[in-house]
Amino acid sequence: MARIVAIVVATILVLLLLFWGLQRRLIYLPYSGPVPPAAETLEGARDVVLETEDGLELGAWFVTPQNSQASAGVLVANGNAGNRSLRAELAEALAEQGFAVLLFDYRGYGGNPGSPTERGLGRDARAAYEFMVGDAGLAPQQLLYYGESLGAAVVAELATEHPPAGLVLRSPFEDLASVGKLHYPFLPVDLLLKDRYPLAEQIAGLDVPVTVIYGEQDSIIPPSQSRAVAKAARDAQLVEIPGAGHNDPVLLDSPDLIEAVVQLARRAGLPIE
């Protein structure tokens, strides 16, 4: 019996050590290969470089609206997988509505140097913000932040330092631990997580309009999580996409999603046609 107990304990310890050491490989799923030039993918787009406060240079695409001067901009923070090229259609659809759009890749993504962490992604988002208010010439009150899944937590943190005109949170979670418990119920996730992303807590302290968009059939970030984020916000509207799962195209660039961004811009007083 003592031997069986020792084997069970040893197995549990090994699992805990593996999760502790490998957890960021489970959280961050970058496509690390090269990204094509912006102009080959998007009309009106150009390649730009973002400089982080810790000395990294990150690849990004800046997209300007066709035949008009942008009076509002959207800073897009990706989810935990892929790279900016997968958001090209989103940027194109937003540009057609008159927005200037910044797509950028985090450290470790899209051929960028570095390794992703919560602190690192926060620095990357600040570099994106500095580009929008510096090089792009947009005022903070002309900006919307658009965060997709993990990116929702990234822009929520950015908003605590640099409040935008409004926030679009697509498939957000309350905090990373609450999601981890759903997918790893046999592990003490609260004790093991290195990166926390307290999204709902940060949103509760913001005084900006928020739109929360989620899929009715999302099995990665349950709808209850996204609804809880909206409840935590002071001024939030919910947009449910019927039948949609977390990675369905309808949650990337569908007319309903783009219209939700446009309606938020109007709520925030931005001059969108």
Cα separation of 105 and 110, whole Å?
A: 6
**Is the model's pLDDT at 122 over the cut of 90?**
yes
Helix, coil or strand: residue 232: helix
The per-residue pLDDT for range 55-89, each reduced to its tens digit, is 999 999 999 987 677 789 999 999 999 899 999 99
CB 144 within 8 A of CB 261: yes
pLDDT of residue 34: 82
Only one residue has tokens 């009076």, namely 71
**Is the model's pLDDT at 210 over the cut of 80?**
yes
Averaged pLDDT for residues 89-101:
95
pLDDT of residue 189: 77
| H-only helix segments in the chain | 2-27, 38-41, 88-96, 118-133, 150-161, 176-183, 189-192, 199-204, 223-232, 250-253, 255-267
Compute, in degrees rounded to 10, the torsion defined by CA atoms 25, 214, 164, 255. Answer: 120
Which CATH number fits the domain 2-267, given the four candidates 3.20.20.60, 3.40.50.300, 3.40.50.1820, 3.90.650.10? 3.40.50.1820
In whole angstroms, how far apart are CA 267 and each of 118, 253, 270? 30, 20, 8
Helix, coil or strand: residue 118: helix
Provide the residue ranges of all domains of the chain, joining segments of one domain with +. 2-267
Name the more confident of 2 and 39. Answer: 39
CB 215 within 8 A of CB 170: no
DSSP 113: S
**Is the model's pLDDT at 185 over the cut of 90?**
no
Tell me what the pLDDT averaged over the chain comes to: 90
**Banded pLDDT at 186 (limits 50, 70, 90):** confident
pLDDT of residue 105: 97
The per-residue pLDDT for range 199-208, each reduced to its tens digit, is 999 999 999 9
**Of 5-19, 172-186, 259-273, minimum mean pLDDT range:** 5-19
